[in-house]
Amino acid sequence: MLSPLIIALDYPSLDEALVCARKLDPTKVRLKVGKQLFTSEGPRVLDALHGLGFDVFLDLKFHDIPNTVAGAVGAAADLGVWMVNVHASGGRRMMEAAAAAVAQRTSARTQLIAVTVLTSMDDTDLLELGISETPAERVGRLAALAQSSGLDGVVCSAQEAAMLSKQCGPEFSLITPGIRLPEDAAGDQRRVVTPWDAMAGGSTYLVMGRSITGAANPTAVVDSIIGKLSSLN
């Protein structure tokens, strides 16, 4: 049975990504493909990962005029991805156009989610952009906008998951990056949480990268995390 884990394949080439992917079990985890890997390799990386049996989250964070974003997410749906995302700050018309483009596809339904505030950002970063809201306030506002625009969920920090699960309800997915094991360094993330705290706080899916991909035995780390999460239920 699939766990809530989404493993970020943050590699520069398909060959390197496949070395890691082949160490993982598609019946336990999903995979995330981001900008670097997709820009380097294009749709063939999705074909390769789908061929291994994985559900894939295409993490390209589209943010453009409505027609352009609608075309992009529609193309992603045609490629068979399980999930694709846009920036909620692109506004209602952009998100509604994207949701309509995904809904028009006759293949298996692709989940469309919106990025609220990047987990690398904090109060200071928002102030530099002229935004006086705290990250939590900004996230709440953008999540409400995404939900009313017809999206399936949002990307947010696990620190905001409890708030959003109450605000948006259980059917609205909360995808939380910045997940680290207690012994890990935070890296370039500012708002980080452990897997078990994230799930207890209301996260739906957990995005993890270096904690797993950088391990000597990624499978063992995945099994350990899944085991601990199961014990908390």
* Token pair belonging to 60: 């390209």
Residue 84: strand pairing partners: 58, 112
For residue 1, which amino acid is it? Answer: M
Residue type, 114: A
List C-alpha distances in Å: 74 to 53, 59, 81, 82, 96: 22, 14, 10, 12, 13
| Number of Cβ within a 10 Å radius of residue 230 | 10
**Is 28 among the catalytic positions?**
no
**CA-CA distance, 89 to 115, in Å (whole number)?**
8
User: Given 23, 28, 35, 61, which residue is catalytic?
Assistant: 61
Measure the CA–CA gap between 67 and 58, rounded to whole angstroms: 19
Distance CA 119, CA 134 (A): 13
CA triple 135-30-227, angle to 5 deg: 90
Nearest to 26 by CA among 160, 199, 219: 219
The residues carrying an active-site annotation are: 61
